[in-house]
Each structure stands twice: as C-alpha cells, then as structure tokens.
A and B are shown apart, each in its own frame.
Chain A
Amino acid sequence: MLLAGGQGSRLGGLTRNRAKPAVSFCGKYRIIDFTLSNCTNSNINTIGVLIQYKPFLLNSYIGLGSAWDLDNPFGGVHILPPFFGETEGSWYNGTANAVYQNYEFIDYYDPEYVIILSGDHVYKMDYTLMLKFHKEKNAEITLAAIQVPREEASRFGILTIDSEDRVTKFTEKPANPESDLVSMGVYIFNGPTLKQALIADKADYLSQNDFGKNIIPNQLSTGKRVFAYKFQGYWRDVGTIESYYQANMESLKDGHFLNIFDPKFRIFSNEDIFPPHFVGSAAEIENSLICNGCTVHGKVSNSILGAGVYVGEGVEIKDSIILPYVKLHKGSSVYRTIIGENAEIMGNCNIGARGQIAPGYEGITVIEDYHLITEGTVIESGMHIYRSRAM
C-alpha cells in the first residue's frame, strides 16, 4: 500500500499543481519512481496507490505501471482514490484511514503480509531483506529504521529498541528525541494484525488515524511483537524545500550513496521521449546533471537540468535545480533556485539575487510551475514566487 495522497504543502510552489510523489527529482525522475522501482526490484507486484490530492498528473504518470514493469497478469498497480459506498464515504482522513477505507482491496488479494510505503522518500531498498527479517523475528509488525543526525531526528518518529531489535517505545516527532534511530515510514504488517489494528483505530474517536501517531504506538501498548529493521544506505525525506534541495544537490557529489548509475538495481522512470541534449559552442557546463532534450547555450554549474530545458545564450545558472520543460532566455541569471516545471524566464532576469545577504546565508528561491517571469525581473534570494490564482 503506497501512500501518495498527501498534499506536501511544505514544498510550496512545487506541489501547487501536483501531488508530492509526482514532483520531479534529480532531473529525470519523479519522487515516486524510487518507491515503485524498489517494489519492482523486490518482486512486489501487487500495489495499491492511495491518492487524494491533485491526482491527475500522478495518475497519468503511473498509468498501468508498465514503465516500472509492474503491469502483471495477476496484481499490478491499482490507483485507489477516495470513494463513496451505498451508505457512506469520505475523504481519506489520515494515512491509516486511507488504508482502512480500501480494506476490500487488500481482502481481494488476501496477502500474508502487507507493506506500507510512502511515495515521498528517495532511497533504494530491497524490501525482501526486510521481509526476511520480519519472518526471522516472528514479528507482527516491522518498521524500517535508519540513523539520522540527532539535530534532524525531531522531524521523524523516534524508535527505542532493546538488544533484540524489538521496539520498546515509539514517539512521533518529539521535541527532545531520546535516540537517533528514526522510522522510515516503511512498515510490514502481518495481514490479520493490520486489519485488526485498523478496525481498532477506526473505533477510536480520538485517533488522528495516522500510522506514525496512532497505529504504531497503540499496537506497542497492546504488547504486539514490533521490531525495527535497521536499514543501511541512503534514505532521504524530501518533504521540505530545504531537504528537497539538499537531496538533489547531493546527487551531484561523487561516490553518492544513491548510485543511479548502478545497472543491478535500476531506478525506472516513465520519461517523455526526447532526443539527446545539445550543447552549444558558447556553453560551459560543470559539475551538473543534464537530461535528454535540453539545449544549453549558457553557463551551468553545480546544477540539475530536467528534460527538455532550454538555456539561452548568456544565461548563468548556479547551484540550482531546473525542473523539466523550463525555458530560460538570453542573459538571465539564476542562483540557488528551484524553477518549477514549464516555467518560462524571459531575458535579463536575475533570480535569486543576493543583494544585502551575506554569502552562504541565502535562502532557496522557488518559482512555481508554469509561471512566466517577465523580462528584466529581479527576484530576491529566498522568495517563493507563486502564480496568481485567477483562472
């Protein structure tokens, strides 16, 4: 069960027009590619994708799942939107509620184990190893866990474990975390355990119907065998502009954990077909990732250009993430900025202008998808620029 319905409001302009899992990442990917490819590489072929917020672009991107080899005679990818039955129905109210409302889907396939995934994390993981651990420990619930720097830990659910890796305590986003082991939002449940937990959660009127806040702590308190599977490797939550920006920029570093060039554990994507990118005579590109269909006539350094981006003559792009189909015209400069898909920057603009701010302390500038920035515009560093809402 892949939770892909969240609004992702902390990504600002990037999620105004699409669900967070459909946001472009590292040039050619979309965030959900990582989870879907993990499923492919782990031989999981029956997936329900729970959607709710602005689903059109996400739905059309996932399609039948064939881009990830997930189209199968049995199972396959199923998009699960909120729905009405004969007597009742409602929007998904929390992650647990979303799964609860689709229990018919799970019953239809009647699996021994259900893995709950999130569509907004960037990582490569073989879930079969986690399932093996789950079986070995004779667990009822297994949480994937990773160590993070302690100052970041309060953004996550904190796990306290005993010497057998059994979870003794789970606290969602505490102010003072007592360990640096955090939940990755990947849970394996035994089929009956999940059903029973969801029914109990539904009956609890005070519950916020959230896996992290309610289900896991409640199951712990009823004495269930809950274990933590320690994951070694690269894992990033890209739920905020800062973490999204950092995770993208990390992919430019050499020896990066998330080896997207590894042929044995491939990340699949549903890309638009484009010719190779063209680099003009005056272009200078350094330490950057460039996708198919780009045309580059200007200077690009420490940046990522998504598919089909046009960079005109004299344009300078530094430390920035340019999402697919963006056009940047002659003489504009862009610094520490995320430019949303299909946005167009006319000539001689200065995006992410440094002004009075001391070097190294600039904010990240964000331009919303489809925005048109008129000629000569100066946008101060750290601004978030949205389109006007008039239709």
Chain B
Amino acid sequence: MSNAIGIIFANSGSDNLQGLAQERPIAAVPFGGRYRILDFALSSMVNSGIRTIGLVTPHQYRPLLDHLGAGKDWFLERKDGGLFILPGVMHSLAGSKDAFCIKDLQNNLEYLQKDYVENVLISSGDQIFNINFRDTLEFHKDKHADVTLIYKAVRPRDDDSLDQILLEVDGDQKVSKIHNKYSLESEELTFLKFVNIIIIRRELLLEIIEKYGSYGCIGLMEILASNIEVLEILGSPTNSSIGTIHTIKDYFDRSMDLLDFKVREQLWSGVDRTHTKIVDNPPTKYTAQAKVSNSLIASGCSIAGEITNSIVFRGVVLEQGCRIQNSIILPKCHIHSNAQTNYTILDKSVIVHGENVLKGSESHPLVVLKKTVI
C-alpha cells in the first residue's frame, strides 16, 4: 500500500481559454483526442500506487463529475480509499498565484484527518504530464523531508513569466528560496520552475491548516516560502515534459506537440497508461475518399474528408470534401461537405455546414463555442 494520499486542485480557472473554459474548469477541458486535462494528474497518481485521491472541485463541477463518475476507470472505486470529492470554496478567485488554497483544505479537513498515511501528494489539475511519483515519494521518505517540491529546469519564455513559481536549490537538494520572478540581472539561462506538484507530511499540513485557516485566502506555497528557514523543504527534479495550460495558445501548442513522436513517446509509450473514461466507441471508419496525414484521430469517428496536422476527438463525423488543417476538433462535431477549417478549435458538438470556411492563425487560433451551428 502507498504511504501517501493525493489531492488534486481541479479548481483553477482561466479567462484566457476563450470559451473552452467558460462552462467548465480547465481540469475538465478535453485534450489529446480522448482525455480531459485532469486525467493526466489523476493517472500519474494512480500509476504511482496512490489509491486515495481527493479532488478539490471548481465552481462548475458538473463536467468533472460527469467524466469521473465513481472513479471506476481510474481504479478508484474501492472499499479502502478511492475517489473523494472535496467541495472547493474559493470559486471565483482561483488563479495560479494562490494555488493550493488553505481555505479549500480547511473545509475538507476530515479527508486529511481520517487517514493514517505519512504523506500527501498535491498536484494542480491543469497540466499535461505522465510522471511516476514512486521514486520521489521514496526520496521524500529517505531524506525525512517535511516537504518535497518537484521542479524542472526551464528557459524563461517571455509569454509565461508572470504565473511561475521559481526555486533555488542548493547542493543538498534543499530549497533555499521560493520566489516568482525571473531575476533580470541573473546571468543564468535556465531557471528551476516549480511544477505545481508537492509532497508534504500529512501532520505538517494539518498543523499549517490549523494555524493559517483563519487567514482568508492564502496559498500553501506562500506559507512554505515564509517558513523556509524552519522547515526541511527539498527539491526533486524531473525531466518529464510538463505542459501547463492557461491560455488558448498553450492549449493549441500543447495539443499540436502531440503530433511530435518524442512527445507522444514520453507521454504514452511507457507502461504507465493515461486512464480516462471509457465509452466503448467502435473503431474509426475511413472511407475511400479519406485523406489523412500527420494527425491524431480518436475512436468512433467517420472520416471521408481531408485532415492534415490536426487532432480529432471521439465520435467526429467529417463528410466528403471537407478540409481540416492545423485544427483541433472536439468530440461529436459534424463537418459537412466541402467545409474548411484552418487553425481552428471546434468545441464539442459543433456543426459546420457545407462550404463554410473557418480560419484562425497560428498565434491566434479561432475558437468556436460548444454546440454552435455554422
């Protein structure tokens, strides 16, 4: 049995997903042909042997609960442990700066109190990765750490410098500083970016909640940063690719990354599968007119058109003569004859009638809202 339980904060929202996250939290946004973004954090925990996972819910949690059910497809329908829904409180204020809000945990204190395990593994629910945490949990235990923060060495990118939490780690793997600014004077080309995954002793977390619970909205990371002297906070590096999704550009780029063999290999070729809700679609059917290249196609589709450099989700119908380029087509869309899309993201169940041409650009992909009829 694992010596950790999990918590996933599935309540981060974003105003920058142009309607993809309008009626659903980021965690429930469909990704990669058959998944939802949450599946990646959830599957990584399950594959690491964690069988008790609490999910901090966002404001609009219907799509999440619809997807998860009792957690059966993630092997979380169990007598001992399983999936726990932890109603989140800070509905509207969530952003990545106040990630891991203590108030959310305080409201769900029993979940942490009633277990006997040593540690709690906490992750955000808005990232694409496939990491097995067994080694890090082992490291955390061997070093008798209070907290272990998982980080990755990255080059600064000008577009995402605001949301980051950065670490400074000394030779003994001890975290000496937690801050959120790329220091402009620094000569260094790489920074150690905290990847929003943390292992913390359960008892310590309970102490923190007791002490800071009355503070209103305060994030766990902020508390750790101010107590860095008294706590044994270690850093553990990862080489895995981790895609954070905060903007529509992130969403588009991380999706298109999947067309790269190396990314798919890291994410999907190992023994650790990414689990998701199973709907038992039939295989995808290609007609004699279908023309598909460099694309990722889910099951249950019916394809008679032309697809290039695109990602097509489950149950999509593409009629003869339609042309899909550089696009992301979410489940159950129907594109009629001779319609065209380029740099377009179609949300679920969009219908595009014949001859229509939808065109965005690489930097600003066009997003069509759920159930739109064009």
Contact = CB atoms under 8 A, between A and B. Distances in A.
Given A261-B302, A286-B287, A286-B288, A279 B280 contact: no
B32 A276 contact: yes
B292 interface: yes
A267 B280 contact: yes
Nearest to B284: A290
Given A273-B278, A275-B32, A291 B293 contact: no
A291 B301 CA distance: 10
Given A27-B283, A286-B287, A279 B295 contact: yes
Given A27-B283, A283-B293, A290-B284, A273 B273 contact: yes
Contacts of A275: 32-34, 264, 267-268, 274, 296
Contacts of A268: 280
A273 B46 CA distance: 14
Contacts of A200: none
B217 interface: no
A61 B116 CA distance: 35
Given A260-B282, A287-B286, A290-B283, A276 B292 contact: no
B14 interface: no
Given A267-B280, A271-B280, A276 B296 contact: yes
Contacts of A290: 283-284, 286, 297
A353 interface: no
Contact of B283 (A26, A66, A287): A26
Interface string B34-61: 1000000000000000000000000000
B300 interface: yes
B286 A277 contact: no
Interface in A164-219: none
A260 to B, nearest CB: 4
A349 B229 CA distance: 66
A271 B264 contact: no
B283 A289 contact: yes
A290 B268 CA distance: 18
A266 B280 contact: yes
A102 interface: no
B139 to A, nearest CB: 29
A286 B286 contact: yes
Interface string A276-312: 1111111111111111100000000000110000000
A6 to B, nearest CB: 26
B301 to A, nearest CB: 9
A289 B300 CA distance: 10
A291 B286 contact: no
A269 interface: yes
Q: Chain A contact residues: over half helix, strand or loop, or mixed?
A: loop
Q: Which of B32, B259, B267, B284 has the most CB of A within 10 A?
A: B284
A282 B292 CA distance: 9
Interface in B292-326: 292-300, 302, 307, 311-313
Nearest to B43: A273
A28 interface: yes
B242 interface: no
Given A268-B280, A275-B264, A292 B298 contact: yes
B275 interface: yes
B302 to A, nearest CB: 7
A249 to B, nearest CB: 13
A276 B294 contact: no
Contact of B297 (A26, A267, A277): A277
Given A279-B292, A279-B294, A289 B278 contact: no
Contacts of A26: 282-283
B285 interface: yes
Nearest to B269: A275
A281 B309 CA distance: 9
10 contacts: A27-B283, A275-B296, A277-B284, A277-B297, A279-B296, A279-B307, A286-B288, A287-B286, A289-B285, A305-B283
Given A27-B282, A292-B283, 12 more contacts: A26-B283, A27-B283, A66-B72, A260-B282, A269-B280, A273-B278, A276-B34, A276-B311, A279-B295, A279-B296, A279-B307, A281-B294
Interface of B: 32-34, 72-73, 259, 264, 267-268, 273-276, 278, 280, 282-300, 302, 307, 311-313
Interface of A: 26-28, 66, 252, 260-261, 266-269, 271, 273-292, 304-305
